[in-house]
Amino acid sequence: MSESWTLLKLLRWMTDYFSEKGIDNPRLDAELLLAYTLNLDRVGLYLNYDRPLLAVELDTIRPLVKRRAQREPLQYLLGSTEFWSLDFTVTPAVLIPRSDTEILVEEALSKAGPEGQLLDVGTGSGAIVISLASELSNWQMTGLDISTQALAVAQQNVETHQLEEQVQLLQGNLAELPLHQYDLIVSNPPYISQGEWDELMPEVRCFEPQLALLAENDGMICYQQLAAQAPSRLNPNGWLLVEIGYKQAEAVKTLFSAAGLKDVFVREDYSGHPRVVGGCLS
């Protein structure tokens, strides 16, 4: 990159380079990275296409371009992502929240009464529990995770959204849920089987925490542990709602029914894939 680069010229170069490296949305990623580095929004970029870039700006963007070309997720480079129209800090200690997980938030909202107690198992960045707390001001909520590094990120997000009074974070293993009764237990647990691991995109396989993704028993262990404990941790009419991988709907439904949960259902995401399974304690 020489010093005669204009913003548009660099944008085109980055787009071609990212495309060569197999990145899915090369132009969008180039725009977002450039906008972030120059402290502009995307409209600001379009209005400054002819602006020559300073040497210091090129020095700042160069390592970021290199990292993205090596398939590091854009969200880790930017340090944040959007979920449920809220801004979340993300670091490599947490899974990057996915828009498909908003289906779980929608289902939880549809089951929630005016007040209650909720547990989010495997809270990661806190995306689910914070989104729900932002909608359900009379609920008390707990986000549980085994990873103290993930919980530090979740704590930062709780503070950013000023939900300290409503959301408590707890370190623990989902194999032994807190001895407490909840009206809603929600979880997006690890559910990738060893066999599926090698198929993952480099962004996921090489950069997101394996602890957040990989699950024993062919991806089923967390569902088995949650189903086994749900009857003793849910209040009457309380719901267990989990995100699933697209091949897991039947197995998780069977597990929930065998655990004694009623009204077991599957909800599809907006691409038509089974995404959430839920069951109720009668």
Sheet of 234-243: strands edge to edge?
167-171, 139-145, 116-121, 182-187, 234-243, 274-280, 262-268
Q: What are phi and psi of 75, to 5 degrees?
A: -65, -35
Report, in Å, the least distance between residue 141 CB and ligand SAM.
Answer: 13
Q: Which is nearer to ligand SAM, 142 or 147 (CB)?
A: 147
- Which segment (3-11, 65-73, 91-99, 162-170) binds ligand SAM by CB under 6 A? 91-99
Using CB under 6 A as the binding rule, the residues of this chain from 184 to 203 that contact ligand SAM are 188-190
Q: In whole angstroms, how close is the CB of 235 to ligand SAM at the nearest point?
A: 22
Q: Which letter, b or e, does each residue of 3-28 get, where b requires 16 or more Cβ atoms within 10 Å of its Cβ? A: eebebebbbeebbebbeeeebeebee
**CB closer to ligand SAM out of 64 and 185:** 185
Mark 137-166 with x for binding to ligand SAM (rule: CB under 6 A) and - for no binding. Answer: -------xxxx--x----------------
Residue 123 makes contact with ligand SAM by CB under 6 A: yes
Which lies closer to ligand SAM via its Cβ, residue 1 or residue 211?
Answer: 211
**Within 10 A of 46 (CB to CB), how many other CB atoms are there?**
14
Contacts of 133 (CB under 8 A, 6+ apart): 139, 141, 161, 163, 166, 167
Check residue 245 for interaction with ligand SAM (CB under 6 A): no
The smaller minimum CB distance to ligand SAM, of residues 70 and 110, is found at: 110
Compute the distance between CA of residue 29 and CA of residue 74 in angstroms, rounded to an integer: 7
- Smaller CB distance to ligand SAM: residue 15 or 81? 81
Of 214, 145, 132, 220, nearest in space to 177 by CA: 145
List of residues 6+ apart from 80 with CB closer than 8 A: 87, 88, 89, 90
CB 273 → ligand SAM: shortest distance, Å?
16
Q: For ligand SAM, which residue of 101, 142, 166, 229 counts as binding (CB under 6 A)?
A: 101
Using the rule CB under 6 A, is 73 a contact of ligand SAM? no
How many chain residues are in contact with ligand SAM, going by CB under 6 A? 23
Beta pairing, strands 86-89 & 80-83: antiparallel
Which residues lie closer than 8 Å to 77 by C-beta, 6 or more apart?
33, 36, 64, 67, 68
CB-nearer residue toward ligand SAM: 73 or 122 = 122
Taking the C-alpha atoms of residue 88 and residue 79, their distance in angstroms, rounded to an integer, is 8
Closest approach of ligand SAM to the CB of residue 5, in Å: 37
Residues that bind ligand SAM (CB under 6 A): 94-95, 97, 101, 122-125, 127-128, 144-147, 150, 173-175, 188-190, 211-212
